[in-house]
Structure 1
Amino acid sequence: MVQLPVTGARYAIVLGGGRSARMGHDKRDLVLDGRSLLARATDACVGRQVIVAVTPALPHDVDPTGVQRVLEDPPFGGPLAGLAAGLAALPSISDGDEVLVLACDLPRVAEIVATLDAAEPGTDGVCLVDAENYPQFLAARYRRSALQAALAGDLHNRSVGRTLGGLRLAQVAAPLITADVDTPDQAEAAGVRLRAD
């Protein structure tokens, strides 16, 4: 796949927080092929000028010299608060900047990033669409200024879909690679397991 040119800086935000209530374990403790899901996500972002992980702590297999860790305030404030914290950690905005946004619970994250990088973005970016035809706003590339504008104001009780659904995003069907792991059964089906320390 040919990567489309970007006129500004290329950043990445990986959302690794959350209570993981349905999983029953912190998703940072999940591994696939010997690597934590968060490490696999940050690995897929190589080539971005800054990679920010929004998480209480980095797993042991994430190099802290290559990943900046932040946490939303208050902690566990939800994905929109996490995105806002990640954006606040980036350098000053300039025209043409883009932000790759990824949830940490995507087993096929390398394929997701390759698909997003090869896609022609809309005015505000591009997101993948899952097998049920839902846009995956946490598997997307955004024009940074558009994402920042969408996150302005009070984020309390705002849903991801209502907040980001108004952006002019190209949508790319990717039913085979967008499945995430929210429950133990989903993790088992994807070959993901709890790290044994």
Structure 2
Amino acid sequence: MTYAVIVLTGGKGERLGGVDKAALSFRDGTLLEHVLSVVDDAAQKVVVGPEKDLPGVLWAREDPPGGGPLAGLAAGLARVTEEWVAVLAVDQPGLTKDTIARLRAPGRNAVLRDDRVQWLIGFWNAAELREALPEEPADLPLRRTLLKLEPVEVSALLGEARDVDTPDDLDTLHSG
């Protein structure tokens, strides 16, 4: 089954002092390059946020910029032509190719779950996503829209769902 990926990078990074999370160093590249590497088999790669020089990526921007993850999802989905789409946040250093394979395995809408549902680590039917999106998605909660699609919850492995939101998270990222 071919699929697309939407990587949401448009967050303000307020708890990190306005840092561009997509450009944060991780391993031998950036967080954005890491997330794209775990979906290198995706037929389409759509990144929502400020454009960077990355080959093979389609770019989109939420309307208005800073309009939240649901607006970002809507903008990215407008570029997707595949039937299935992985939706990921850029600040997920624990993601692996196995994460994506496990989300794809049920063959239906799925989200990762550790101690809570990780709405920005999921695999979705694009048509169902489009149908569920509100007409004006800016500043509306992503969870409320995705919950309507009754996704299967896939258990996260240790560290798989960690994200980078605070200076402590950034320190952990660079020390681990």
TM-score (norm 2): 0.90
Q: Which residue of structure 2 aligns with residue 128 of structure 1?
A: 112
Q: Does 1:40 align with 2:34?
A: yes
Q: Distance in 2 between matches of 1:104 and 1:54?
A: 10
Conserved in 2, the CA contact under 8 Å of 1:31 and 1:37?
Answer: yes
Q: Distance in 1 between matches of 2:35 and 2:173?
A: 15
Q: Does 1:161 align with 2:148?
A: no
C-alpha spacing 1:142/1:192, structure 2 compared with 1 (3 Å): farther
C-alpha spacing 1:192/1:46, structure 2 compared with 1 (3 Å): farther
Q: Does 1:12 align with 2:5?
A: yes
Q: Secondary structure at the match of 1:109?
A: coil
How many residue pairs get aligned? The number is 173
Q: Which residue of structure 2 aligns with residue 82 of structure 1?
A: 72
Displacement of 1:34 in angstroms is 2.0
Displacement of 1:192 in angstroms is 6.8
Q: Distance in 2 between matches of 1:113 and 1:135?
A: 15
- Percent identical among aligned pairs is 36
C-alpha spacing 1:12/1:155, structure 2 compared with 1 (3 Å): same
Q: Which residue of structure 2 aligns with residue 3 of structure 1?
A: none
> 1:126 corresponds to which letter in structure 2?
A
> 1:47 corresponds to which letter in structure 2?
D
**Which stretches of structure 1, 4 residues or more, deviate above 6 A after TM superposition?**
none
Query: What CA deviation, in whole Å up to 9, does each residue of 1:31-56 have, x standing for no partner?
Result: 11121001111121111111000011
TM-score (norm 1): 0.81
User: Aligned to 1:107, which of 93, 96, 99?
Assistant: 93
Give 1 or 2 for the bigger CA radius of gyration.
Answer: 1
C-alpha spacing 1:139/1:192, structure 2 compared with 1 (3 Å): farther
Q: Secondary structure at the match of 1:141?
A: strand
Question: CA RMSD, aligned part only?
Answer: 1.9
Q: Secondary structure at the match of 2:6?
A: strand
Unpaired runs of at least 5, structure 2: none
Unpaired runs of at least 5, structure 1: 1-5
Displacement of 1:115 in angstroms is 2.9
